[in-house]
Copies of this chain bind each other. A is one copy, B any other.
Amino acid sequence: MVEQKNDFTEWYLQTVQKAELMSYSPVRGSMIFRPDGFEIWEHIQEEFNKYLRSEDIRNAYFPMLIPKHFFMKEADHIEGFAPELPWVTEVGDEKLEEPLALRPTSETMIGAAFSDWINSYRDLPYEINQWANVFRWEKKTLPFLRTSEFLWQEGHTAHIDEEDARRRTLNVLDEYTRLCEEFLAIPVYKGEKTPSERFAGAVDTYSIEAMMQDGKAVQAGTSHYMGTKFAEAFDITYLNKENKHVHAHTTSWGVSTRLIGSLIMTHGDEHGLVLPPTVAAHQVVLMPVGPWKKNPAIMEKLDEIYAELKKLGIRVRLDDSDNSPGYKFNEWELKGACVRIECGPRDLENGHAMLKVRDLADKEKVAFDDLIATIQTHLAEMTPRLLATAKARNKENEHFHINTLDELKAHIETCKKEDKPTGFVLIGWDGTDETEAKIKEETGFTTRNIPFDVPMEKATDLITGEPAKHTLWIARAY
């Protein structure tokens, strides 16, 4: 397998396949989520559903096919999505009267439904979520991170006024941050997107951006305040307390199976996947070692441990295959099993097992009596430790003292020479699309977001040297 430090992208491509998270499919740019990959998504769904329930936001399901005339109602929206839309034009051997788009997102379909369902201020806020497959025909694709079909959740809400809509927009962004950091151990940068990077049709787009180990960014989640733009296009009005028909303010927000890609690029190492126990399909793997077949007491002991862990709801596997210990170690490290327990004849005799945590260097000897508790402790400690590790690495790859295009180019050169990630660069920006375009053209860096907590105010625009209107993060991105 190619080494991570030599070719990060190739390492990623090989790892997601060899670890059986995905397979390619015969349709260009789409992929199969194999059970170990899909299970990560199921855990994310379960966790985010808790937030939805606590906020009384209910799940629904809307049709996937969107009639063309629907899409045309919000001009910016169709303009943004048109080039990537797959169209159903025939059924059986008959041509349809109107082509139907495969949804890239559901603002239009849900907007039309909201228009029917919302009548009075008493109906607001009206808050809905959908877990669904969506389609965007991307030119360049990468498993999990950019595929023609992907899975996501899309929340859609309508509110009485701007204040309440903005409250939800930012509240969700906080929850996405919590989900990434506390649940997935992925540190993120929270901020506002520049106008050119806004969702097609949004007034304001906010994002969380994650930094991969190679210093590149992944936009890990977005939350949009739509103002009344979609309400106007789809006639979402309500009768207010003064008995007047007024437009609702809407929001939408989503995270997708991109999170799985981010997870792997954030934590993986030369041995393969490193996964926080929160989402790992294999939290614990037990394996007999040495001449265990001659010594049935070893398997009896492991069966006992297996049953205890299972009873505690821990996702445990028992590898009693004929493969060699070395083969098994490699395989389960590749697959990101969080804790490995080995037991051979001498271990059994001495009343202990050997325990290895995926992201810690050393094995430890643990007495059988302490084994379950020790495993539980490790599972509890691993996620916050992975977060701390990732945060520390991010710190090294944040760059604050680049003030001109030449300095940025010099930084890129140095990184190339020293084989270091170019990372996130904080710059001053005059607020124009032109300077953004120039940065991208000259360096491949794109604007990530304007951070909520600006670590350091930048006085001048990177390109023009004129006074900066905003301070923002730029980076190369997936």
Q: Which residues of A contact B (CB under 8 A)?
A: 23, 25-27, 30-35, 38-39, 41-42, 58-67, 70, 82-92, 99-100, 102, 109, 112-113, 116-117, 128, 132-133, 137, 148-149, 151
Contact = CB atoms under 8 A, between A and B. Distances in A.
Given A23-B116, A27-B100, A133-B133, 19 more contacts: A25-B62, A26-B70, A27-B65, A30-B63, A31-B63, A32-B60, A33-B61, A33-B62, A38-B59, A63-B149, A65-B86, A65-B149, A86-B88, A86-B100, A87-B88, A87-B90, A89-B90, A90-B99, A91-B137
Contacts of A88: 86-89, 102
A343 B347 CA distance: 65
A67 B30 CA distance: 12
B30 A65 contact: yes
Contacts of A116: 23
A99 to B, nearest CB: 8
A32 B63 contact: yes
Contacts of A128: 35
A92 B102 contact: no
Given A84-B91, A84-B92, A149 B64 contact: yes
Contacts of A23: 113, 116-117
A64 B88 CA distance: 13
B59 A32 contact: no
A62 to B, nearest CB: 5
A59 B42 contact: yes
A109 B59 contact: no
B63 A35 contact: no
B67 A26 contact: yes
Contacts of A32: 60-63, 113
A86 B89 CA distance: 8
Given A84-B91, A85-B92, A86-B88, A109 B25 contact: yes
Contacts of A90: 86-87, 89, 99
Contacts of A109: 25
A27 B63 contact: yes
Contacts of A132: 133
Given A26-B70, A27-B65, A35-B128, A87 B86 contact: no
A138 to B, nearest CB: 11
Nearest to A41: B61
Contacts of A60: 32-35, 38
A151 B131 CA distance: 12
Contacts of A102: 88
Contacts of A27: 63, 65-67, 100
A286 B32 CA distance: 46
Contacts of A62: 25, 32-33
Nearest to A110: B32
Given A25-B62, A60-B32, A91 B87 contact: yes
Contacts of A148: 65
Nearest to A58: B35
Across chains A and B, which 5 residue pairs bring their CB atoms closest together, nearest first? A35-B58, A33-B61, A30-B63, A83-B92, A25-B63
20 contacts: A26-B67, A26-B70, A27-B63, A27-B66, A31-B63, A34-B60, A35-B58, A35-B59, A38-B58, A38-B61, A39-B58, A65-B86, A65-B148, A83-B92, A86-B90, A86-B100, A87-B89, A89-B90, A92-B137, A133-B133
A84 B93 CA distance: 9
A243 B312 CA distance: 41
User: Which of A30, A34, A88, A92 has the most chain B CB within a 10 Å cutoff?
Assistant: A88
